[in-house]
Amino acid sequence: MGVIDHRVQLVTSGDGPRTVAVAAAAAAAGAGVVQVRAKHLLAGELLDLVLAVADAVERVAPTTRVLVNDRADVAHAARRRGAPVHGVHLGQADLPVAAARDLLGPDAVVGLTAGTLDHVREAQSRTGSGRPDHLGSGPFRRTPTKDVGRPPVGLAGYPLRAAATDLPVLAIGDVTLADVPALAATGIAGVALVREVMDAPDPGAVVAACLAAWG
C-alpha cells in the first residue's frame, strides 16, 4: 500500500455512530492512520466497531490504515472477514510484536507504545519480525484519557526519542493543534490525536489544520 503518512493519526474514543463518523471524517481529511481504541468493550463488541470504522474509512480514504488498539485477536478476526484492517497497536504488556505478525501476517502494520527513552532504544535494537513499524511515545502532557503512570515527555523529550531510532515516532497524550508546529520541529514523524479530534465540532477541519501546521 506504499508509505504510511504518519503526520496525523486519530486514536478513537467511544463506540457509537459518532465514533465511526469522526473516524471517516478524519480519514477523508488526510489522517494517515486511524487507530480504534475502546478498552471498555468486550471482544465481540470491539469487532463490530472495528468493522464499522474500517468500512467507513475505506469508503472515503482507501489508503488510510486502520489499526486496532491492543487486540491482535480482534484485528485478526476482522481481517479474516475481509475487512480493510491493516494491523494493531500494541502496548508493552500486550502480545509481542513478532507474535502479532505471526497472527496477522507479514504485511500487517504493527505499532508499539514506547513511553520512555529506554523503550525507544530497545525497539530500535529489534530486528526481523519483532521490529515494530512505528512507535507511540508519551504522554506529551498529562491526560485524563489514559493514566500511564509516567511523567509527561514534554516538548524537550521528543528530540531525544527521535534521535534514538530510525523508526517513526509519534507524540501522544493530550496533543492539540496548537502543539503541532513545535512538535514537528523535534524530528518526530507525527502526532496521535484523541480528544482534539474526537471532541471537535468539525473533526475533518482539525485534521486538515494539523496537516497544514506540520508544514
Tell me the pLDDT tens digit for each residue of 164-182: 999 999 999 999 999 999 9
The CA distance from 51 to 205, in Å, is 25
Q: Which three cell numbers stand for residue 131?
A: 521490529
Coil/strand/helix, residue 17: helix
Residue 207 neighbours by CB under 8 Å, 6+ apart:
8, 10, 25, 26, 29, 30, 31, 193, 197
Q: 101, 54 in Cβ contact below 8 A?
A: no
pTM, whole model, 2 decimals? 0.96
The CA distance from 44 to 71, in Å, is 11
The CA distance from 212 to 105, in Å, is 34
- Chain-centroid distance of CA 34 in Å reads 6
Among the listed residues 56, 94, 98, the one whose alpha carbon sits nearest the alpha carbon of residue 74: 94
Coil/strand/helix, residue 38: coil
% residues pLDDT > 90 (the chain): 94
**pLDDT tens by residue, 118-156:** 999 999 999 999 999 999 999 999 876 556 667 899 999
Q: Which three cell numbers stand for residue 1?
A: 500500500
Dihedral, 211, 106, 89, 78 alpha carbons, nearest 10: 100
Q: Which pLDDT does position 84 carry in this prediction?
A: 98
**pLDDT tens by residue, 35-50:** 999 999 999 999 999 9
63: left (phi over 0), alpha (psi -120 to 50) or beta: alpha
**Maximum alpha-carbon separation in the chain:** 43
Among the listed residues 140, 79, 148, the one whose alpha carbon sits nearest the alpha carbon of residue 109: 79
Q: List residues bridging with 111 in a β-sheet.
A: 89, 134
